[in-house]
Every structure is written in C-alpha cells, then in structure tokens.
C-alpha cells in the first residue's frame, strides 16, 4: 500500500471517528435535556397537584364529606385563584407522562368539587349574597364562583376513556359478570328496552 492510500484510509477513519464523537455528544445532550425536562415536569406536576388540593380544602374544608361550602367570600376567591394557578402550572408541562398524571389528579379533584357543589342551597341566590357592602348584595365574587363551577363540570372536549371500552367484550368475557346478578339483569333490561324502542320506531 502506498503512502497516499494510507493517508486516505487514516483520513477516512478520522472522519468516521469525528462523526461518532459528534453523534455520541448529541445523544448525550439530548438525554440530559430530556432528563432535565422530566425532573422539571415532576416538580411542576407536584406543585400543580398541591394547588388543586389547596383549592378544594380552602372551599370545602379538609374533610372530604362533601358538605355545603361556607358562603365565605375569601374562601371562594382563594379557591378560584388556586384553580387558576393549577391551570397555569399544568400549561407548562412538556412531557406526556406528567401531562397524564396531572390530568388524572385533575379529574379526581374535579369530581370532589362537583360533589361539594351538589347542594340545594346553591340553587338560591341567597347563598351567594351578603351584607358586607351597603351599596351591593355581593358577597361571593361572581368570577370566583364561575371559575369554581366551571372547573367542577366535565369538559366535553376531554377524551372520555370509557368511550374506548367495548362493553360487549366485558359482558361476554365469562368472568366480569360472574356472580354479579343485579348488574347482569340490569344490562339485560337495558338491552330489552333498546330493542322495544327500535321496534317502535
């Protein structure tokens, strides 16, 4: 092999080595950035969950007995602010895992709010009114009430995981309804009702 050929081979190996060093560096940087984002999202998610817990506890109290929230202006304001903080924190999440974790906690707390707001007293304007201001009957700030009620309501734009389940698979899998006579009869009755409705139309 002549000297020129040796130089060409060495140059080729050098270029290949440089390429692999650059690739290794790029992959290491990418992994480090992903790890940093994962850590950051974990902290954001934890704080977001705390904001939801605080929002609920401020409005309804620490006991999850779903009793009527006190008509306290400051409690409704503080709870609404915590919900808004939660939404702001959630919007900063980048990783799919922590977006999912946060959404799961959100659904839990949404249901807790919903249960706490299912009282007849809330159907009356008197619950929200107050005597704090001589010039107005306002007690509960309408914005705070709207934020809380909005949060407690199922968002129709959310994907409902139940829609991905084929109930017939569960009905006919030979173990889900095993021993569940009440549920089995209920399902049969619903199926019979549906057949009667179809025949009637």
pLDDT for res 154: 83
| pTM tops 0.75 | no
Q: For residues 59 and 155, state if they share a domain.
A: yes
pLDDT band at residue 132 using 50, 70 and 90 as cut-offs? low
Q: For residues 91 and 178, state if they share a domain.
A: no
Q: Which of 28-42, 135-149, 168-182 has the weakest average pLDDT?
A: 28-42
Contact 62, 116 (CB under 8 A): no
Q: For residues 101 and 189, state if they share a domain.
A: no
* Residue with token string 């304001």: 77
Residue range 72-117, pLDDT digits in tens: 999 999 999 999 999 999 999 999 999 999 999 999 999 999 999 9
Q: For residues 14 and 106, state if they share a domain.
A: yes
Supply the range of the domain harboring residue 53.
3-161
Residue range 58-70, pLDDT digits in tens: 999 877 678 889 9
pLDDT for res 19: 74
**Mean pLDDT taken over the chain:** 86
Res. 133: pLDDT tops 80:
no
Please give the tally of structural domains in the chain: 2
Res. 13: pLDDT tops 90:
no
- Percent above pLDDT 70 for the chain: 89
167: enclosing H helix or E strand:
helix 167-171
Contact 73, 140 (CB under 8 A): yes
Residue range 160-200, pLDDT digits in tens: 788 888 888 898 898 898 888 888 889 889 898 888 888 88
Highest mean pLDDT among 13-17, 120-124, 135-139, 140-144: 140-144
Q: For residues 87 and 174, state if they share a domain.
A: no
Q: For residues 157 and 194, state if they share a domain.
A: no
Q: Which residue has the higher pLDDT, 157 or 130?
A: 157
Q: How far apart are CA 182 and CA 165, in angstroms?
A: 21
Q: For residues 86 and 184, state if they share a domain.
A: no
Q: For residues 156 and 169, state if they share a domain.
A: no
Res. 43: pLDDT tops 70:
yes
pLDDT for res 136: 59
Spell 150-176 as b/e; 16+ CB within 10 A means b.
ebbeeeeeeeeeeeeeeeeeeeeeeee
Res. 130: pLDDT tops 70:
no
Q: For residues 83 and 30, state if they share a domain.
A: yes
């Amino acid at each position: 092999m002549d000297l020129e050929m040796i130089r060409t081979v060495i140059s080729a190996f050098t270029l290949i080595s440089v390429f692999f060093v650059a690739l290794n560096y790029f992959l290491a940087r990418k992994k480090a950035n992903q790890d940093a984002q994962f850590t950051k999202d974990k902290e954001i998610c934890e704080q977001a969950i705390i904001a939801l817990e605080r929002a609920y506890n401020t409005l309804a109290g620490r006991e999850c007995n779903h009793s009527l929230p006190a008509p306290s202006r400051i409690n409704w304001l503080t709870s609404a602010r915590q919900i808004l903080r939660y939404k702001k924190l959630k919007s900063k999440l980048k990783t799919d895992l922590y977006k999912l974790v946060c959404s799961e906690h959100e659904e839990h707390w949404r249901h807790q709010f919903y249960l706490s707001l299912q009282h007849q007293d809330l159907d009356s304007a008197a619950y929200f009114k107050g005597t704090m201001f001589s010039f107005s009957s306002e007690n509960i700030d309408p914005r705070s009430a709207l934020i809380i009620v909005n949060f407690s309501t199922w968002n129709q734009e959310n994907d409902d995981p139940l829609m991905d389940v084929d109930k017939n698979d569960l009905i006919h899998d030979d173990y889900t309804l095993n021993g569940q006579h009440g549920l089995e009869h209920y399902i049969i009755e619903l199926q019979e009702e549906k057949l009667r409705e179809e025949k009637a139309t």
